[in-house]
Amino acid sequence: MKRAQGYNAGKDRQDRLIKEKIHDPYMNRSKPTESTICPQCKLVFTDGRWQIQLGGGQNPHKELCPACQRIQDNVPAGILSLSGDFFATHRSEILALVQNKVEGQNAQHPLKRLMAIEDQDDGSAVITFTDTHLPRGVGQAIESAYEGELEIQYTEESNIVRVYWQR
C-alpha cells in the first residue's frame, strides 16, 4: 500500500497536543503579588504561598484567598456525610475528632478549612470543606477510631470529593 505524498511523519501535529487540564477553578492560574493579604482571614501570600503571618507589609494588595472565595461562593471542594445509629449516639465525640483533625491540618495548611456542619432531619450530618484532601483524611481518621463503612468518591469533572461514613 502506498502512502499519500503529503504525509510527513516527522512533524508534530498541533491538533494532537495535550491541553493543560484545569483541576481547580479556585486555585489561581497566576500567583498573586507578594505581600497580598486576604481581607477576610488575614492570610498573607508570601514566598509563593498563603501563610499565617502578622501584617502584610506596607500597603498590601488585597485579594480573597482561594479558601475564603470558596466559602463566600458556597462551593465546597469536599463533602463528608456522617450517618448511622452509632453516629447519632456518639455525635459529639465524632465531631470533636473532626474539629481536631481540621485544626491540625489548618495549622500547617491554612487553606484547608471546614466550611460548615449541617444537621440533617434523619440525624446524620453533612460537613463541607474547602479542600479535596481534608474530607478524605477526616473520614479515614473516623474509620480508624470507630470502624464503620467508609466510601470515597472523586469526580474529576466537578473537582469535588464526596466521603460517606456510617456505622
pLDDT in tens, 72-84: 999 999 999 999 9
Distance between start and end Cα atoms, the chain: 65
Cell for 64?
480573597
Compare 25 and 13 and report the one with higher pLDDT. 25
Cell for 153?
468518591
φ, ψ (nearest 5 deg) of residue 88: -60, -40
CA distance linking residue 166 with residue 155, whole number of Å: 21
Locus of grid cell 455525635: 91
CA distance linking residue 59 with residue 51, whole number of Å: 18
Lowest mean pLDDT among 9-18, 58-67, 87-96: 9-18
Question: Which pLDDT value is given to residue 2?
Answer: 46
CA distance linking residue 64 with residue 115, whole number of Å: 15
Question: Which pLDDT value is given to residue 159?
Answer: 82
**Domain ranges across the chain:** 19-74, 76-166
User: How confident is the prediction for the chain on average, in pLDDT?
Assistant: 85
